[in-house]
Amino acid sequence: MDARLNFLDQTLPPAVAEAPPPVVRLRGFVRSFGETTVLHGLDLDIQPGEFVALLGRSGSGKTTLLRTLAGLDVAHGQDVRVPNSRAVVFQDARLLPWKKVWRNVSLGLNGADIRDRAQAALREVGLGHRLDAWPLTLSGGEAQRVALARALVREPRLLLLDEPFAALDALTRLRMHDLVLDLWRAHKPAVLMVTHDVDEAIALADRVLVLDAGRIAAQERIAIARGERGDLTQPLRHKLLDILGGSPASSGVIPFPQGAHA
């Protein structure tokens, strides 16, 4: 079943009337490695079903934050609340090459129906026919879709995306954006997507956070519907790039600076 068919007949939830308890809650979170403090007193709430993009340059602490939320970096004695039901998609798909695609998707799951569940998840990402393929025969985009299926088959309440499209070509990346949005609408997990691509953050997220030197430097909620963002988000784009500490032309984040032709 295609996720795209699924979401059409779903009504979007109304704007949050009375805030439900957040899925993720960090208060005054600090993380240091030896002398270096990577995250300084971070506060973060993510609402159920919210799509949050986390922007930041290399070394801003965004990966550390994601690893904390993923439970890969244990935070002792700190005020961190994350759901147990969570899944990560890494930049490199991290499929186990010695397990067939469906075994990768069902990794760590138990039960008699795991193959069916894996198959359903793979169909959702358009790879229902590659069930028995070896991961090393997949293209980069396919591998990343398998990684998405592996995350979604767990029906996570929190989906963590660690620069999931950074290694893909431009066209594949745009297709993946659509796929992620479709899957997000169909399954409604809270999403935290780490990226260094301002356009990607603006195209996908409900809310964009900018992390700089271990602190949240800015926070922007985007009210415009996703399909209509185009030109309307130009001011936001420039603002975010400014906060990231570079003019659009020199930031190196955007391959084709808009200012050059506009």
Q: What is the contact surface with another protein in residues (CB under 8 A)?
A: 70-72, 87-88, 90, 92, 94, 96-99, 107-108, 134-137, 150, 154
Q: How far is the CB of 241 from another protein (least distance, A)?
A: 30
Q: What is the dihedral of CA 2, 144, 128, 170, to 10 degrees?
A: 60
Cα distance between residue 144 and residue 175, in whole Å: 12
Nearer to another protein, 70 or 217 (CB): 70
Q: How far is the CB of 167 from another protein (least distance, A)?
A: 13
Largest CA distance in the chain: 58
CB of 91 to another protein, least distance (A): 10
Least distance from C-beta 72 to another protein, angstroms? 6
Q: For residues 42 and 160, which CB has a smaller minimum distance to another protein in the complex?
A: 160
Closest by CA position to 133, among listed 117, 122, 121: 122
Closest CB to another protein among 115 and 239? Answer: 115
Query: Is the Cβ of residue 115 or residue 215 nearer to another protein in the bound state?
Result: 115
CA dist., res. 182 & res. 221, Å (int): 20
Give CA angle at 91 (85, 95), nearest 5°.
Answer: 70
Nearest distance from C-beta of residue 78 to another protein, angstroms = 19
Find the shortest distance in angstroms from Cβ 83 to another protein. Answer: 12
Cβ closest to another protein, residue 14 vs residue 97: 97
Specify the residue, 10 or 137, whose C-beta has the smaller distance to another protein.
137
